Structure 1
């Protein structure tokens, strides 16, 4: 019995030691926007340098989804997760002496973090992928300005590593952070030296982040931040949902009408200029074809809605009502099953804001021989 007690104590001590070791390990986010993969290549070297310190872990995420095969599998970060890290290394292409549009849009969504002082005292470092190299210092300084407003502790790259770089070719080294001059011909970018400098920057940053761990408060913000900061364009890409062009009216009416904060939309199953699966259920088309038509119709509704809110689906507050009208025979009763496709798509796109009141009914015919028509009401900002 005494031996069993001793074994139990040893196991308990081992678990406690493991938990304490995990708690002392710093976690750093390498947050990037990358167009052609140059910034991502630097990010991998930064992360490698960070993880050369056994007490620090690095995770690479991007601010928005990308169709570039090199970047397709990199997870997308949310604004509200930023305070959970012990440090953040920011990477971006240089856009005309400034940070990239993608990174700028992401940072513009951090207002709630700023008002809650959620990033104050957290260490940050920056790196960039430049074109010709012109404007790289201006861009790095612009990055620093944005992070300074948050009260982050900015860690420069200093002059480390300059003794060993090849000075026969232009290199992207700066004291503010490593860059890579991506557009120069006949030289692989990032160069071997630029990669080495990025690795050194990661090492230096990891050491500082580990030293500062626990010295600043990780203030968690409301979960509503993630909902407000959701980039619907990225969400649609991730879910492989492609919105069609807004169908043009076939008569003297508008695709939508806004009255106060309500938007009213009616659409049929138009796809690429033609009615998808036209006709009457049970005569010309089957249930599966009508469900496909219902999905196409709802995509048209969302495309019109996006136009109604000026391209920003973040302004949608609630799907209030959907009404599905189906071209069916008199004895058909499973209208709700057909409409579930449209309802499920709405919730998939808008989450809780997509849950709605609903009506479904049959009709002896529908304009332009569509098998379905959907009427929608949305509340918007």
Structure 2
């Protein structure tokens, strides 16, 4: 399965970044039993933060790309938590997405679709999940999107 996941990523022209290190006094993930909780991953691509308010500074499409970047970081954390063995990933259980936006912006679900669609494109049915998509007045370091995830693993 790990090779299948890597092949799907490659076919999409994507690759997993290095799993980001925590920026404060927390751990990037917690594995308890068959449940893996991954801390919120902020929007960054190629080492550069994707910053701004979606709907003001960034378009919905740019926000969607930021959410995809968060999803890649989530998968990188899953891979790190499982010792590099993505075959142990059984499914994505839930994603919680936060979108840096103003009170009158209502397209948070469209933005977080970037992460949801990526999970399904890469993992197939194992990528289908429950989710929340909410607005935030501000996010750490001014990033556009932050997403946390819960995963079932073997």
- For normalisation by structure 2, the TM-score amounts to 0.92
Alpha-carbon contact 1:247-1:270 (below 8 Å) kept: no
1:364 matches 2:128: no
After TM superposition, give the deviation of residue 231 of structure 1 in Å: 3.2
- Residues 66-100 of structure 1: CA distance to partner in whole angstroms, max 9, x if unpaired? xxxxxxxxxxxxxxxxxxxxxxxxxxxxxxxxxxx
After TM superposition, give the deviation of residue 284 of structure 1 in Å: 2.0
1:380 matches 2:149: no
In structure 1, the partner of 2:72 is 299
Alpha-carbon contact 1:231-1:314 (below 8 Å) kept: no
Unmatched runs of 5 consecutive residues or more in structure 1: 1-227
Q: How does 1:13-32 map to 2 (within 5 A)?
A: none
CA RMSD of the aligned region, Å?
A: 1.5
After TM superposition, give the deviation of residue 269 of structure 1 in Å: 0.5
In structure 2, what is the Cα distance between the partners aligned to 1:311 and 1:235?
A: 16
After TM superposition, give the deviation of residue 230 of structure 1 in Å: 5.7
1:255 matches 2:4: no
In structure 2, what is the Cα distance between the partners aligned to 1:270 and 1:280?
A: 14
Q: 1:264 to 1:360 in 2, by over 3 A?
A: same
Unmatched runs of 5 consecutive residues or more in structure 2: none
Alpha-carbon contact 2:60-2:110 (below 8 Å) kept: no
The structure having more radius of gyration, on CA atoms, is 1
1:271 matches 2:45: yes
In structure 2, the partner of 1:285 is 58
In structure 2, the partner of 1:19 is none
After TM superposition, give the deviation of residue 239 of structure 1 in Å: 2.9
Q: How does 1:173-192 map to 2 (within 5 A)?
A: none
1:324 matches 2:81: no
Q: 2:12 aligns with which of 235, 239, 242?
A: 239
Alpha-carbon contact 1:246-1:304 (below 8 Å) kept: yes
After TM superposition, give the deviation of residue 263 of structure 1 in Å: 0.9
Count matched residues: 153
- For normalisation by structure 1, the TM-score amounts to 0.39
After TM superposition, give the deviation of residue 229 of structure 1 in Å: 8.1
More strand by share: 2
Report the 3-state secondary structure (helix = DSSP H, G, I; strand = E; otherwise coil) of the residue aligned with 1:231: helix
Q: 1:315 aligns with which of 78, 88, 110?
A: 88
